Amino acid sequence: GFLDHVVLGNEEWNPWEGDERNELVASQQRYEANLKMIKNARSHLEQTSLRVQIWGKAAIGLYLWEHIFGGHLQPPDVTAQWREGSQKAGKTYFSFITGPSVVPGYFSVEAENVVLVLNGREKAKIAYATQWLHYAQTLIQTNKIQHVAVVLLGNEQCNNEWIQPYLKRHGGFVNLLFVTYDYALVNEEDIFQWPLGVATYRNFPVVEPSWSMLHDPRSYLCNFLGTVYKNSSRETLMEILKQDGLDKLCWIAAREQWQPQETNESFKNYQDALLQSDLTLCPVGINTECYRIYEACSYGSLPVIEDVMTLGDCGNSSMYHSAPLQLLKTMGAPFIFIKNWKELPAVLEKEKKMNLQEKIQRRKKLIEWYRNFKAWMRHKFISTLENSFLPSDKG
């Protein structure tokens, strides 16, 4: 054994030599195994990896990229002619391009799979969206790309018939449609409801919750900053707020006409109102779903929602027993839903009795829910694309 060698005076003998040789062989085997693993992973990646290019030609693309995906864009300047970003998620490598310079035929198509973000609100927007669809169709016909999904800012009354012929199920080429509002044709197979999100066209930011946002007392019970249309439920809301002097406890700034052009001052005012009030009143407009709901969530101000269906073709299918706001309700949104603003005084009375600790808990719950909601939408979006675009292993 070991002692024998020592006694024999064999100075050159290395007692660890066997171990070293074994270690060398083992490390060589580990190296080869790793190499094999990397090769496998790479070929596996090549088999299962998806490259998806998102063409953001409507402002809701920014909600998808910056708010839901948590992605960044270069340059950060929102007025830049061309902005881009990329990220790996799931089995997919996503790249995103947006800006006025992204014009059909004038940029390189860098993926076999494309998500087109389009605005279908009104006629002029639809005409523009159609040009993009025709461009994508040409790319499919010439085998430049393989799959197309569309994220659509739908019409507020859900008149989206124009997109139908482009869908695969109607002989078109669009594999998947993600569309805003309670569109009656949502089927969870190839047509999915998508959240409206915040008003990115007004540069509403991604808000990181701060300690003070969660813990500080807020000066107002509620807020409503917006347009009050003649003979609308918003008029009723204003009357009810004035009746018991409740408007003194809330931050109310009503205007008679809609102003698309936000000034820096009016926008800061709006953000302050969300930050300084515990509840945000969300009366219906043309549709029940509005940017205000998501913007209030961003600041931990609980939406109080007028839970009524608006005119038009939204949610008139059997699937929509919980319309309006099917998507938010399905995801367990912790909002206050009321059928009539006459219920508001009771809500505000209850609010007055809540202590700060209860409000802090509620804010935390709301912000946590909203974070989870965005994470779930991201997961759903990615897995839906992968399930539809990746070759299935069954064959």
We report the CATH number of the domain holding residue 343 as 3.40.50
pTM of the model: 0.86
CA angle 293, 238, 265 (to 5 degrees): 60
Same domain, 233 and 174: no
Could you identify the residue written with the tokens 């002989």? 171
Per-residue pLDDT reduced to its tens digit, 13-60: 445 556 656 767 776 777 777 767 666 655 555 555 899 999 999 999
- pLDDT at position 264 is 83
Q: Is the predicted pLDDT of residue 359 greater than 60, yes or no?
A: yes
Confidence of residue 189 (pLDDT cuts 50, 70, 90): very high
Nearest by Cα to 81 from 98, 99, 97: 99
Is residue 313 a part of any domain in this protein? yes
Last residue of a domain, one of 137, 164, 180: 180
Same domain, 143 and 78: yes
Same domain, 348 and 218: yes
Is residue 238 a part of any domain in this protein? yes
Is residue 252 a part of any domain in this protein? yes
Residues 150, 116: contact at Cβ < 8 Å?
Answer: yes
Can you spell out the DSSP letters for 318-361?
TT-TT-SSHHHHHTT---EEESSGGGHHHHHHHHHH--HHHHHH
Backbone angles phi, psi at 223, to 5 degrees: -140, 150
- pLDDT at position 3 is 45
Same domain, 250 and 328: yes
Q: Is the predicted pLDDT of residue 9 greater than 50, yes or no?
A: no
Per-residue pLDDT reduced to its tens digit, 56-81: 999 999 999 999 999 999 999 999 99
Same domain, 314 and 222: yes
Could you identify the residue written with the tokens 């998620």? 89
Residue type for 105, please? G
Residues 64, 52: contact at Cβ < 8 Å?
Answer: no
Q: Is the predicted pLDDT of residue 4 greater than 90, yes or no?
A: no
Nearest by Cα to 87 from 68, 101, 100: 68
What mean pLDDT do residues 336-343 have?
Answer: 96
Same domain, 150 and 233: no
What mean pLDDT do residues 365-388 have?
Answer: 97
Out of 8-17, 87-96, 329-338, 362-371, which region has the weakest mean confidence (pLDDT)? 8-17
Same domain, 122 and 168: yes
- pLDDT at position 235 is 94
What mean pLDDT do residues 110-139 have?
Answer: 97
- pLDDT at position 38 is 67
- pLDDT at position 194 is 98
Nearest by Cα to 217 from 47, 374, 57, 356: 356
Q: Tell me how far the alpha carbon of residue 26 is from its chain's centroid.
A: 48
Residue 48, classified by CB atoms within 10 Å of its CB into exposed (0-12), middle (13-18) or buried (19+), is middle
Residues 305, 333: contact at Cβ < 8 Å?
Answer: no
Same domain, 169 and 230: no
Tally of domains within the chain: 2
Confidence of residue 192 (pLDDT cuts 50, 70, 90): very high
Out of 77-91, 247-261, 278-292, 332-346, which region has the weakest mean confidence (pLDDT)? 247-261
Is residue 361 a part of any domain in this protein? yes
Is residue 28 a part of any domain in this protein? no
Q: Is the predicted pLDDT of residue 123 greater than 80, yes or no?
A: yes
Is residue 317 a part of any domain in this protein? yes
| CATH number of the CATH domain containing 159 | 3.40.50.300
Out of 234-238, 252-256, 388-392, which region has the weakest mean confidence (pLDDT)? 252-256
Same domain, 167 and 211: no
Backbone angles phi, psi at 92, to 5 degrees: -120, 140
What mean pLDDT do residues 242-264 have?
Answer: 81
Is residue 38 a part of any domain in this protein? no
- pLDDT at position 324 is 94
Which residues span the domain enclosing 291? Answer: 204-371
Same domain, 163 and 126: yes
Same domain, 209 and 352: yes
- pLDDT at position 265 is 87
- pLDDT at position 18 is 61
Same domain, 222 and 319: yes
More confident residue, 4 or 30: 30
Q: Is the predicted pLDDT of residue 223 greater than 80, yes or no?
A: yes
* Tokens representing residue 260 in the block: 């698309």
